[in-house]
Amino acid sequence: MKTKKQRAAIFLVLVPHRDIRFILRKYSAELFKAGFSGAFQFPWVVPAALLSSRLNEDELKHCACAYRETIGKEKITAAHGAVVEFSDGMPLFGPRLESPIPQKIFNESAAVKIVKKISPSVIGSCFLWEQGKTPLPVQKLSFRAAAFANMYWKPMQINTDGALGFKWKIGKLFWLPAD
């Protein structure tokens, strides 16, 4: 029997600098030790929008410049865990950005590719599949360096009891300008 190959969904993501991702990796490890099986199932990025097709280099550069213009010289800060409904209603938990990603960062050509804006803006740290469990407190994060990129996302069935794993790839990074 032939099976239809599932196509990867495409998301616009904000990728924090690797120093912050290191801190988030430790946080995900703590969540996993505390019994949250959804830790390590998502890259430490902020999903901003589900796209109909990938953004090109000019559109990604525009997003980076427009977001820097929006936040100015301020650092990007994140604190207080929040949950956002990710793809197919999966509850994604992580630190919430205090400067959310606004719609105005998208130029006209990028805006027509948006299928769904994802809000609130959280740095994905764990899928919350465990009902009634409260995640560990999130430490306040602060960073200046971040980039926009396309992320290709695909659920993968990994065993017969229906448990899922996920496969992702993050495209070329377009860094926010210094100021």
Please report the pLDDT score of residue 1 as a whole number.
Answer: 39
pTM of the model as a whole? 0.90
80 inside domain: yes
The secondary structure of residue 140, as a DSSP letter, is P
Q: What is the pLDDT of residue 162?
A: 53
**Cα separations (Å) of 96 from 68, 81, 88, 163?**
18, 6, 20, 27
Q: What pLDDT sits at residue 159?
A: 52
Alpha-carbon gap, residue 48 to 15, rounded angstroms: 10
Residue 4 lies in a domain: no
Please give the pLDDT value at position 2.
42
> Cα angle vertex 162, ends 161, 168, to 5°?
135
Number of domains making up the chain = 1
pLDDT of residue 28: 93
48, part of any domain: yes
Contact 116, 51 (CB under 8 A): no
What is the domain range of residue 162? 9-175
Residue pair 27/125 in contact (Cβ under 8 Å)? The answer is yes
Give 10-residue mean pLDDT values along the chain (179 residues).
65 95 93 91 95 97 95 93 88 93 91 94 91 85 96 76 77 93
What Å distances lie between residue 112 and 24, 38, 58, 145, CA to CA? Answer: 32, 32, 15, 27
In a domain, 3, yes or no: no
Q: Are 23 and 44 in contact (CB under 8 A)?
A: no
Burial of residue 90 (number of CB atoms within 10 Å: 0-12, 13-18, 19+): middle
Residue 6 has a pLDDT of 66
CATH number of the domain where residue 104 is located: 3.90.1140
- Going by C-alpha positions, the residue among 167, 133, 129, 141 that lies closest to residue 39 is 129
At 45, which amino acid appears? V
Residue at 140 is within a domain: yes
pLDDT of residue 136: 86
pLDDT in tens, 66-78: 999 999 999 999 9
